[in-house]
Each structure stands twice: as structure tokens, then as C-alpha cells.
Amino acid sequence: MGNLVVQGVNKAFAGLKALNNVNLNVQSGTVHAIIGPNGAGKSTLLNCFVGKLEPDTGTVMFEDQSLLNRQPHEINQLGVSRVFQTPEIFPDLGLLENVMIPAFAHRDGSFRLNWLPRIDNEAEIRERAEHMLEDVGLADNKADHAGALSRGDKRRLELAMCLVQEPRLLLLDEPTAGMSRADTNNTIDLLKRIGERGITKIVIEHDMHVVFSLAQKVSVMAQGTVIAEGSPEEIRGNPKVQEAYLGGAHL
């Protein structure tokens, strides 16, 4: 459950090879980090998992089902949720509604003409959403409009929106980017706690502190391909990785 197997994925944009024969094996229940310099193709790879991009060649299998040639909502309904690089929330709606919407989507499927009941009377969904907001530490301002939140809080809200759906695979695109050190540590704690639920997670991250405190396995990408893979300790000592990072940093 929750395992993802990527084989031979290629993607080119107008001649530029963004992904070059990427192979990845994410085991069920683990936290798998993908690191690499800017432009390495990390986000492009993630986009291929959620139906935002279609790879030119290759396969992406989630629990023995292909994720290719599917609409984003179909992939989500299979049990894959994603936290975006810039928080994607419903800014005009309240915090509670923000979390209730994914909960409805999880319960009712991709479409249901559910116009008769009142949203206030959906006690079960409401409770779950409130519980989820508590979990991420946003319970105190549930009446606010989500657009007014700070960037870090938006990200936590987005995480709550994904978790309330009880996904089996959670994709996190730089979950701590732009956060203070304190917020980053809070997020690490949060992610560790949800790690106990057995959700498989793929984390894209620049912050090595985050990577080494969360991940069981790390894949390093550079120029559209995976150059190294292993446990955090193995990766730390790998000369190829250091070269890729230093090279990237000076460019």
C-alpha cells in the first residue's frame, strides 16, 4: 500500500531535457526525500505524478495502478495528495471550509450534486475538519479567511487539507520553504507525527536539516536525472552529491 514505482521517465520541453530516464522506487510507509539544485527537475517529476504533466516516455505506478493519462482529480481519488511549492488554498473561504472541502471530496467522490443538506449539519465532516485544524495548530483562528494567514500558516493549512483526505501517498514540495527556523521545526514535528500514520511521503526539500531529520531514503537529482540514492548517511558522504550541489550553488 502506498508504494510508488517510477521507471524510465523522460520529459522534454522544446528540446530541453527536463527529466532524463528517471527511476525511483518509493517504498510503502517511508519518507523519501528528493534533493538537488534548482532546475534539477524535482518539481517537474512531482508534476508527472499528479496529472499536471504527462511524461514523454516511462511509467509511473502507484499501488500497481498507472498514474499516467489521468486527470488530477482522478489521481487524488486514488489516494495521492499534494502540497504545493506555493501554498494552494481557498483564500476567500474560512479555515474550516478550507478543510471541509477536501473532506467532502474524500467522502463524496469527484462529483456529487449534494445540495439538500446544510453544511452546518454535516457534523461528521465538520468534526474531522476541526480535529485536523487542531492537529496542525490552527484551531484558534478557524473563523478567519484563509487568505489572511501568514505563509507558514497557509502551508500548515494546506497540509491539513491534504491529511484530512487520509491519503496513502503524500507529496510535499518544499514544505518548509520561506519558514522561520521555529516554524520549520514545528513542521518537522508535525510531519514526524503524521509519519506515524503510515502515509508514504515524498518530500522535495532544500533544507538539509529537514531532509536528515525526516527521510529514510534520499534521491539526489541533477540535470533531470537521479545521480545518487541511499540513506541520508550515505548521501551525506557521497562526493558526487557534493559536487552537484557546489556546482549548482556557484552557477
Partner 1 sequence: MFGLSKKDGTLFLVVIGMTLFAPILLNPFPEGSELAQFNAGYPDLMQRFVIFGIFAIGFNILFGLTGYLSFGHAAFLGVGSYAGVWMLKLLTMNVVPAIMVSVVVAGLFSALVGYISLRRSGIYFSILTLAFAQMSFALAYSVLTPITNGETGLQLALDDPRILGVSQVNGSIPPTNFFGFEMRDGFTLDIASWSFTFNVGYYLCAAIMLIAFYLSIRIFRSPFGIMLQAVKTNQQRLRFTGVNTRPYTLAAFIISGMYAGLAGGLMVAMDPLAGAERMQWTASGEVVLMTILGGAGTLIGPVLGAGVIKYFENIFSKINDNVLYNWFSFMPDALQDAFVFMIHPFIGKGWHLTLGIMFMLVIICLPGGVVEGGQRIAKLFRRKKSGPADSGAASLPNSTPAE
161 lines the binding site for partner 1 (CB under 8 A): yes
Measured over the CA atoms of residue 230, residue 231, residue 235 and residue 238, the dihedral's sign is: negative
Kindly state the smallest distance separating residue 57's Cβ from partner 1, in Å. Answer: 24
Give the Cα separation of 59 and 108 in Å (integer): 29
31-39, 79-87, 174-182, 235-243 -> range binding partner 1 (CB under 8 A): 79-87
Residue type, 223: Q
Give the Cα separation of 103 and 72 in Å (integer): 17
105 lines the binding site for partner 1 (CB under 8 A): yes
Q: Which residue has the cell 514505482?
A: 5
Give the Cα separation of 44 and 53 in Å (integer): 8
Q: Which residue has the cell 562526493?
A: 239
70 lines the binding site for partner 1 (CB under 8 A): no
Kindly state the smallest distance separating residue 71's Cβ from partner 1, in Å. Answer: 7
Kindly state the smallest distance separating residue 147's Cβ from partner 1, in Å. Answer: 8
Cβ proximity to partner 1, 165 vs 184, nearer residue: 165
96 close to 133: Cβ distance less than 8 angstroms = yes
Kindly state the smallest distance separating residue 81's Cβ from partner 1, in Å. Answer: 8
Kindly state the smallest distance separating residue 105's Cβ from partner 1, in Å. Answer: 4
C-alpha atoms less than 13 angstroms from C-alpha of 138 in its C-beta half-sphere: 32
Kindly state the smallest distance separating residue 229's Cβ from partner 1, in Å. Answer: 27
31-39, 106-114, 180-188, 193-201 -> range binding partner 1 (CB under 8 A): 106-114
Options 12, 17, 56, 90; binder of partner 1; rule CB under 8 A: 90
CA dihedral 24, 219, 155, 29 (to 10 degrees): 60
Cβ proximity to partner 1, 149 vs 211, nearer residue: 149
Measured over the CA atoms of residue 104, residue 106, residue 111 and residue 114, the dihedral's sign is: negative
**Nearest Cα to 23, choosing from 40, 6, 46, 35?**
6
Cβ proximity to partner 1, 106 vs 128, nearer residue: 106
11-19, 61-69, 100-108, 214-222 -> range binding partner 1 (CB under 8 A): 100-108
Cβ proximity to partner 1, 105 vs 214, nearer residue: 105
* Angle, CA of 168, 100 and 215, to the nearest 5°: 30
**Site residues (vs partner 1, CB under 8 A):** 50, 71-73, 76-77, 81-82, 84, 88-93, 97, 100-102, 104-106, 108-120, 122, 161, 165
